[in-house]
Amino acid sequence: MNPPSKIKLHRRTQVLELEFQTADEAEPQAYELSAEFLRVQSPSAEVKGHGPGQEVLQLNKQSVAITGIEAQGNYAIKIIFSDGHDSGIYTWQYLYHLATQQVNLWQEYQAKVKHHEETKDMQAIKWISPQ
């Protein structure tokens, strides 16, 4: 995967603007990814875990900001967030995946948050058997 032809952070809106051009496209395609979306989709082990089923749902990241972006060789960037998270390495391939699958990934994330909210009270209940 080629690097994006454009990477621009809009600090006021906390949106990362990317442009990718694939071999079958005449013009680059522009994408906008929010800081919250990038944070909850971080490729780090803290978020993704070390294997299937070990993912950690990221909650309350609505006001997280991007405080820095660092190049990682010629293949990726590291995004530094205002909540201290900085261990995710976003390869060009992963950024392209996030950009092109953003709607589906966001809907999946929102469904997980909703399920968590609906079931969190159930998890805190301790059942006591009558005597």
pLDDT confidence band for 7 (50 / 70 / 90): very high
SS3 85: coil
Distance between CA 16 and CA 70 in Å, rounded? 13
**Structure confidence at residue 31 (pLDDT):** 98
Q: Does the domain formed by 6-121 have CATH 1.10.287.70?
A: no
- Tens digit of each residue's pLDDT (9 = 90 or more) over 75-127: 999 999 999 999 999 999 999 999 999 999 999 999 999 999 988 766 555 55
Q: What is the layout of strands, in order, in the sheet containing 29-34?
A: 6-10, 15-20, 29-34
Distance between CA 37 and CA 98 in Å, rounded? 9
Rounded mean pLDDT of the chain?
Answer: 92
Q: What share of the chain is helix, strand, coil (3-state, %, to 5)?
A: 30, 25, 45
**Structure confidence at residue 120 (pLDDT):** 76
- Tens digit of each residue's pLDDT (9 = 90 or more) over 56-69: 999 999 999 999 99
Whether the pLDDT of residue 24 is over 70: the answer is yes
Name the residue with higher pLDDT: 125 or 8: 8
What the block records as the tokens of 71 is 């190049």
**Structure confidence at residue 67 (pLDDT):** 97
pLDDT confidence band for 52 (50 / 70 / 90): confident
**81-100 b/e (C-beta count within 10 Å ≥ 16 → b):** beeebeebbbbbebbbbbbe
